[in-house]
Amino acid sequence: MQEYKTYEIENFGYQYGNLAPSIHPGLERQKMEEERLRKKQERERRLRKKRLIEHKKELRRRKMHALYMTFGLMIFGGLCTSYIYLQNSITTSMHNIASLQSEISDLKAANAATESRIHTATNLNDIKNRAVNELGMVYATSDQIVYYDMQDEDYMNQYDNIP
């Protein structure tokens, strides 16, 4: 027995072979139409399911992208905050150094002024006259001077009064 292939072209069913068509062409055509409609609905259902799966994948990709971007922005914000903090601490340190240098220069100037005032206020001749005339001091004679020999040490310990 020979099989028949039926092709639907523009809603007409053509049969190839030498057998006569069936007696109820409308019923067969209705079955073919229902089969075609069922296949079409099945294709649409599969297509919708495929689109839904692709849509879920795309949503997942977008969520991951948003998560990565958020994470990156948080790291960038942390780095910027750290940079600003470091810049602030460097600026504060430089201001402290400048104030300390200013204080040092002020103290050096005050020391120089005090030293100059001491040198101008002190007259060595007046001190010598007062020591000799008022206090009765005299210069030491050669027999009063005692010399000490130092070995390789650069200091001397005194355990008793010097005669």
In this prediction, residue 155 carries a pLDDT of 67
- Rounded CA separation 37/43 (Å): 10
Residue 8 has pLDDT above 90, yes or no: no
- Rounded CA separation 96/102 (Å): 10
Contact 6, 14 (CB under 8 A): yes
| Tens digit of each residue's pLDDT (9 = 90 or more) over 108-134 | 999 999 998 888 877 888 888 889 999
Q: What mean pLDDT value characterizes the chain?
A: 84
| Tens digit of each residue's pLDDT (9 = 90 or more) over 37-90 | 999 999 999 999 999 999 999 999 999 999 999 999 999 999 999 999 999 999
- Tell me if the pTM is above 0.95: no
In this prediction, residue 11 carries a pLDDT of 47
Length of the chain counted residue by residue: 163
In this prediction, residue 121 carries a pLDDT of 78
Q: Please report, for the chain, the start and end positions of each structural domain, with discontinuous segments joined by +.
A: 6-134
- Going along 21-116, which residue ranges are E strands? none
Contact 16, 3 (CB under 8 A): no
